[in-house]
Amino acid sequence: MGREVRRVPKNWQHPKQKDGSYYPLFDGNFKEAFAEWMEGWEKWQLGLCEQYGKGDKWGPADPADRQMTYTERECRIPSPDDYMPEWTDEQKTHVMMYETCSEGTPISPAFETPEEMARWLADNDVSAFSSLTATYEEWLGMAKAGCAPSAVLDSTGVHSGVEYIGSVK
């Protein structure tokens, strides 16, 4: 992923680390992520692992993988500290743009409308990808789509995902 609109409360202040940088947060439901991790751990204890793209969800784990613990293979158990708060729809009155190359850190303040956010992003030459910025129209189109990949490569070259998604008519 690259850029993503997240709905937040009006006065949301994304948490910062001691050095002042933003603490990356996943957007999603911690309880679901935790339940999914636990299901995988339980299957791992039975010698099974997820079979991606093979029809059956669970199948025998590769013997080489079994040399690792489940945590080594699938990363640590999810923590609620690593997820955005779970607000009600009524609380989520504003939008913020996040970069999602990590778990997610904000690249804009909270705004009441996508139009306000797109204007701020364009006026402040916010990175759409690497050193590439985007126009108001591209940011707005991407904001209405909800998310964009980091970059797109086509026959004309490399484009930010914001430019690509935001210019789709």
Are the CB atoms for 161 and 149 separated by under 8 Å? yes
**pLDDT score recorded for residue 1:** 67
**pLDDT score recorded for residue 116:** 98
DSSP class of 68: S
pLDDT tens digits, 140-156: 999 999 999 999 999 99
pLDDT tens digits, 19-36: 999 999 999 899 999 999
Residues 6+ apart with CB under 8 A from 15: 22, 23, 25
Q: How many CB atoms lie within 10 A of CB 88?
A: 7
What is the rounded distance in angstroms from the CA atom of residue 164 to the CA atom of residue 145? Answer: 11
Average pLDDT for 2-14: 96
What is the rounded distance in angstroms from the CA atom of residue 105 to the CA atom of residue 107? Answer: 7
C-alpha Rg value of the chain to the nearest Å: 19
| Element of type H or E holding 96 | strand 94-99
